[in-house]
């Protein structure tokens, strides 16, 4: 089986580095354009099934990329982005200006402590692993190509588990770009990463 982890396209909040988390923000026009370019890049992949975060930005990305195909797309709460509690809607600059401890989520994961309703890295990893073990591994021989439409921190969560990394390496490069596609081979219950955050558009053209 090949598992394709696909981050959603750009939103207006992405553009200004505003914390999204579980906030249900839609794609902007450029985000939809990225999804259509990614659809073209993946046109030769014969997807059998798709799973998506219920958040609009991920779901619409999935609907665009799988558009025109007879491929079922199922929502799964476990694929949602990390919840960032009361920090959702704030910009990184606002948080940096006040040196907020929430920034440890990105800058110092090993010392991040849950604050104001935020999920921890381990909680997000737990959700990702549960999804993997429940929906993907048991169906290794049933499906050949599976798409999962999700979010940056969630994809890093699953990669942290697959690579067996410590929390301090949660944000190990490469960064998961908007509409970046990470491809994983699943064989005999073992996951092997083939490509990380492959993009099908010219970033310089943003």
Angstrom CA distances, 1 to 9, 48, 131, 180, 188, stand at 25, 10, 16, 19, 10
For residue 177, indicate whether it is catalytic.
no
Q: Is 8 a catalytic residue?
A: yes
| Separation between Cα atoms, residue 101 and residue 180, nearest integer Å | 29
With beta carbons less than 8 A apart as the criterion, state whether 41 and 177 touch.
Answer: no
Q: How far apart are CA 46 and CA 171, in angstroms?
A: 30
- Given the residues 29, 60, 63, 81, select the one marked as catalytic: 81
Q: 170 and 121 in contact (C-beta within 8 Å)? A: yes
Instruction: List the catalytic residues.
Output: 8, 81
């Amino acid at each position: 089986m090949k598992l394709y982890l696909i981050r959603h396209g750009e939103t207006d909040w992405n553009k200004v580095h505003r914390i999204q988390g579980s906030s249900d923000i839609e794609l902007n026009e450029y985000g939809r354009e990225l999804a259509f370019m990614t659809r073209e890049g993946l046109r030769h992949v014969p997807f059998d099934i798709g799973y998506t975060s219920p958040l609009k930005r991920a779901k619409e990305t999935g609907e665009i990329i799988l558009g025109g195909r007879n491929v079922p797309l199922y929502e799964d709460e476990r694929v949602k982005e990390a919840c960032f509690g009361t920090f959702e809607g704030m910009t990184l600059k606002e948080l940096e200006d006040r040196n907020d401890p929430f920034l440890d989520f990105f800058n110092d994961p090993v010392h991040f402590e849950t604050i104001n309703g935020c999920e921890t890295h381990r909680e997000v990893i737990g959700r990702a692993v549960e999804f993997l073990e429940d929906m993907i591994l048991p169906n290794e021989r049933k499906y050949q190509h599976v798409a999962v439409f999700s979010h940056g921190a969630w994809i890093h969560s699953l990669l942290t588990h697959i690579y067996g990394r410590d929390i301090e390496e949660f944000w190990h490069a490469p960064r998961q770009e908007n509409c970046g596609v990470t491809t994983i081979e699943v064989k005999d219950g073992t996951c092997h990463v083939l490509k990380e955050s492959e993009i099908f558009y010219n970033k310089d053209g943003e």
